[in-house]
Structure 1
Amino acid sequence: MADQASEEEVLLAKRIISAAERHDVPALKVLLKEGSANVQDPTATAATSPLHAAILSCGEAKDGKEAGDDAVQTVELLLQNGAIWNDLNREDETPGCMALRLGQKKIYDMMVEAGVRAELLFNKMQALGLGGDDVEEVEVDEEPEEQPAAKKQKVSEDEAQAVQGAVEEQVLDDVSLDNKAYLRSQLRYKPGILLDESDNAVMMDWETEIMQRHAQTLIPRAGLKVMNVGHGMGIVDTAIQTHDPAEHHIIEGHPQVHQRLREQGWYDKPNVIIHEGRWQDILPKLVEQGVVLDAIYYDTFAEDYAALKEFFSEYVIQLLASDGKFGWYNGLGADRQVCYDVYTKVSEIDLHEAGFDTQWEDIKVPSGLHGSKQWEGTRRPYWTIDVYRLPVNTFVK
């Protein structure tokens, strides 16, 4: 009976995928009453989900002609029945990646909106302490420099639990998965790059133009009080100094970075105040002291989006002057265009809820960055897309 049931499940999966591929909405509605929108055909050489099949069969958009209404309705139906927006096929493509590659803009936009809805719900569940079987996957920050809220890696729920267990034992194969593990790890400064103990690029010099532009957008004139969280290679702090701030606060948690700050004379600069430690410990004290700042920039490493959200919704709103500006290194999900677009929208929604207006400026990253030799010796590239979206946030008037 077990073999027969297994055969029935395989047959149902094949029928669901076939209906999705044909954009047969009536048949799909019936089949989804019996099976899942996330089935895969285990007998296929290129197993894929119904959502991937529906998008792939749209083909490449040519001469501005995109998918028809039947395809759009098929994708909508699958999403309504729980299809996972960032599920991966064997080619390591999400449905959104596939739609983007095929030039199917309408379908791609649908995937971005589905991702935004899913991530907002997931983040809300996390905030409420919910999860478990209700959550298909969790996000863990992977990158450098803060990885800020910037570089992220998807892991399954089981993997996340394993990571947490490893953290508790103070043993991690990848220290970027936990901020405290990162702060205990050994860093390596090399020409043009800062690496952590697990070979993650914490910061790279290709980001210099971006950091300089952040400083320009946040500090319109001399004599302002400025704070940067996360020194790393010192790129943005060097840029901040060119704008002659009256006060320049730097929060940095890593002991080796403290040593580099001493070696480079940052502690001796008359307008610079170094705060050694994690921002989670330092900012409450600054709030108690009544510190008010004209500009705040955030670029930490080994912290996820939840940390960024806590930063602006709990502390920036208390520390920033009414006419001040707040920015952060926007590298969330920058290893996939669809993930980057999703988290750009998620952050804008959450910022607005916290009382901020957000303006975006598009900056092209250096050509050939993806796949270049710059990433040799690193664990993984944290940036693979063509445009950086620079955020400037001010309080809603």
Structure 2
Amino acid sequence: MAAQAAEEDILLAKRIISASERHDLPALKILLEKGSANVQDPTATVASSPLHAAIVACGKAEDGKEVDDAAVSTVELLLQNGAIWNDLNKEDDTPGCIALRLGQKKIYDIMVDAGVRAELLFAKMEALGLGQAEVEENVEVEVEVEKEDSRAEEPAAKKQKISNGDAKPVEETIADNADKVLDDVSLDNKAYLKSQLRYKPGILLDSSDNAVMMDWETQIMQRHATTLIPTSGLRVMNVGHGMGIVDTAIQTHDPAEHHIVEAHPQVHQRLREQGWYDKPNVTIHEGRWQDVLPKLVERGVVLDAIYYDTFAEDYSALREFFAEYVVQLLDSNGKFGWYNGLGADRQICYDVYTKVAEMDLYEAGFDTEWEDIEVPKGLHGSDQWEGTRRPYWTIDVYRLPINTFIK
């Protein structure tokens, strides 16, 4: 009986994938009443989901020719029935990655919008403390809700990760209140802060070989400083010193006050060695911003420019930073910037989180302008990432955010 049921499941999966590939909407609608939009055929040489199959079947886009309506409707139907926007096939591609490579812009835009809807919903679930069943009972959604840990995409370690959901301990000591030991310390901020850093020429590494910062970012950091600090004599704060690239750039704009918030003890040591504690108008705040900023708010500190560039923190930390603290510390005419590294190891994730961040910023009371900056051409070469755990940047354009209060 069990073997027969397994065979029937495989047959149903094959039929759903085949109908998706043919863009056969009538058949697909009937099949999805019996099966899932996320099935895979275990007997296939190249396993993929129905969504992957539907997009591959679109083929390479031809100049001036729109993708046919059946293909668009098939993708939309699968998404409406719970297809996961960032599911990975065996080639490590999301459906959106395939659409981008094929030049199918309309399909790609649909996938980006699906990602935005899904991530906003996950954020709402997290904020309300709801599980899947509770959300389905209380929130009208366009797609089937998947649990946070079912998302296939593992974000880059650098800067603001998309989620901390993958932070699982690989070893634990038996003592009471023992610290969790992570194979990758970038998955947990407290583990990162206890890890050993290594400053090497042009790069800062954590104990798991993640690149915390690299000197290719210098142009980006300098531009951030210029957009945030148009004149001298302003009150500025940077959160996350690292290699000191942005703080060095800030100093060239002659700020009246320059606050640096940094939590890692080894970075404090480097700040001392390089004389930052002795610089005029510079104040070093040792500790996590979650502990430092409430005290600055209590003191009534007001700033003209705030920049955020932390490591081993996820997007929810960035959202808390601007929604809870920037709104209290920033002057009404001030500017807020942050290192936009969200999902930068995959174009669709970067595009999704650029939109998600802009929407969350607007909800918090900010207008956002974007400035596109091309990254160095040689950055995508494998030799650039030698000795690191993984590349944290694989796309061509950095989208620099400039945020001001909505007037």
Does TM, scored on the shorter chain, surpass 0.5?
yes
Q: 1:168 to 1:143 in 2, by over 3 A?
A: farther
**Secondary structure in 1 matching 2:284:** strand
Q: 1:345 to 1:278 in 2, by over 3 A?
A: same
Runs of 5+ in structure 1 lacking a partner? none
Equivalent runs, 1:294-333 vs 2, <5 Å: 294-333=304-343
Alignment of 1:103 onto 2:103: yes
Alignment of 1:72 onto 2:67: no
Equivalent runs, 1:102-251 vs 2, <5 Å: 102-131=102-131, 134-135=147-148, 136-137=150-151, 142-144=156-158, 147=159, 149=160, 151-152=161-162, 159-160=166-167, 162=169, 169-251=179-261
Corresponding position of 1:392: 402
Over the residues paired in the alignment, what is the CA RMSD in angstroms? 1.8
Q: Given residue 191 of structure 1, which amino acid in structure 2 is its aligned partner?
A: P
Shift of 1:124: 1.1
Question: Deviation per CA, 1:122-175, whole angstroms, max 9, x where unpaired?
Answer: 11111122346643338776423xx2x1x45x78x6x54557979963311111
Q: Distance in 2 between matches of 1:215 and 1:310?
A: 22
Corresponding position of 1:273: 283
Paired residue total: 390
Q: 1:134 to 1:141 in 2, by over 3 A?
A: closer
Contact 1:40–1:50 (8 Å) recurs in 2: yes
Corresponding position of 1:34: 34
Q: 1:247 to 1:140 in 2, by over 3 A?
A: farther
Q: Distance in 2 between matches of 1:17 and 1:87?
A: 15
Corresponding position of 1:44: 44
Contact 2:116–2:356 (8 Å) recurs in 1: yes
Q: Given residue 56 of structure 1, which amino acid in structure 2 is its aligned partner?
A: V
Q: 1:57 to 1:95 in 2, by over 3 A?
A: same
Question: Deviation per CA, 1:282-319, whole angstroms, max 9, x where unpaired?
Answer: 00000000000000000000000000000000000000
Contact 2:87–2:153 (8 Å) recurs in 1: no
Percent sequence identity over aligned pairs? 79
Q: Distance in 2 between matches of 1:318 and 1:164?
A: 40
Q: Given residue 126 of structure 2, which amino acid in structure 1 is its aligned partner?
A: Q
Q: Distance in 1 between matches of 2:178 and 2:83?
A: 34
Q: Given residue 120 of structure 1, which amino acid in structure 2 is its aligned partner?
A: L
Contact 1:142–1:176 (8 Å) recurs in 2: no
Taking structure 2 as the reference length, the TM-score comes to 0.93
Q: Given residue 157 of structure 2, which amino acid in structure 1 is its aligned partner?
A: E
**Secondary structure in 2 matching 1:318:** helix
Q: Distance in 2 between matches of 1:391 and 1:122?
A: 23
Corresponding position of 1:9: 9
Q: Which moved more, 1:10-19 or 1:160-169?
A: 160-169
Q: Given residue 69 of structure 1, which amino acid in structure 2 is its aligned partner?
A: D
Alignment of 1:335 onto 2:345: yes
Contact 2:307–2:336 (8 Å) recurs in 1: yes
Q: 1:257 to 1:113 in 2, by over 3 A?
A: same
Contact 1:254–1:277 (8 Å) recurs in 2: yes
Q: 1:5 to 1:50 in 2, by over 3 A?
A: same
Among candidates 365, 368, 372, match of residue 375 of structure 2: 365
Contact 1:141–1:177 (8 Å) recurs in 2: no
Q: Given residue 143 of structure 1, which amino acid in structure 2 is its aligned partner?
A: A
Corresponding position of 2:264: 254
Contact 1:140–1:177 (8 Å) recurs in 2: no
Q: Given residue 25 of structure 1, which amino acid in structure 2 is its aligned partner?
A: L
Q: 1:165 to 1:337 in 2, by over 3 A?
A: farther
Shift of 1:368: 2.5
Q: Distance in 2 between matches of 1:140 and 1:62?
A: 32
Q: Distance in 2 between matches of 1:325 and 1:107?
A: 35
Q: Distance in 2 between matches of 1:99 and 1:8?
A: 31
Alignment of 1:19 onto 2:33: no
Contact 2:212–2:242 (8 Å) recurs in 1: yes
Q: Distance in 2 between matches of 1:175 and 1:123?
A: 23
Structure 1's consecutive aligned runs of 4 or more residues displaced over 2 angstroms after TM superposition are: 130-144, 159-170
Q: Given residue 130 of structure 1, which amino acid in structure 2 is its aligned partner?
A: L
Q: 1:251 to 1:137 in 2, by over 3 A?
A: same
Shift of 1:372: 3.5
Q: Which moved more, 1:256-265 or 1:161-170?
A: 161-170
Corresponding position of 2:85: 85
Q: Given residue 363 of structure 2, which amino acid in structure 1 is its aligned partner?
A: E
Corresponding position of 2:137: none
Q: 1:52 to 1:99 in 2, by over 3 A?
A: same
Q: Given residue 226 of structure 2, which amino acid in structure 1 is its aligned partner?
A: Q
**Secondary structure in 1 matching 2:39:** coil
Q: 1:241 to 1:280 in 2, by over 3 A?
A: same
Q: 1:164 to 1:122 in 2, by over 3 A?
A: farther
Q: Given residue 119 of structure 2, which amino acid in structure 1 is its aligned partner?
A: E
Q: Which moved more, 1:28-37 or 1:162-171?
A: 162-171
Q: 1:239 to 1:340 in 2, by over 3 A?
A: same
Q: Given residue 76 of structure 1, which amino acid in structure 2 is its aligned partner?
A: E
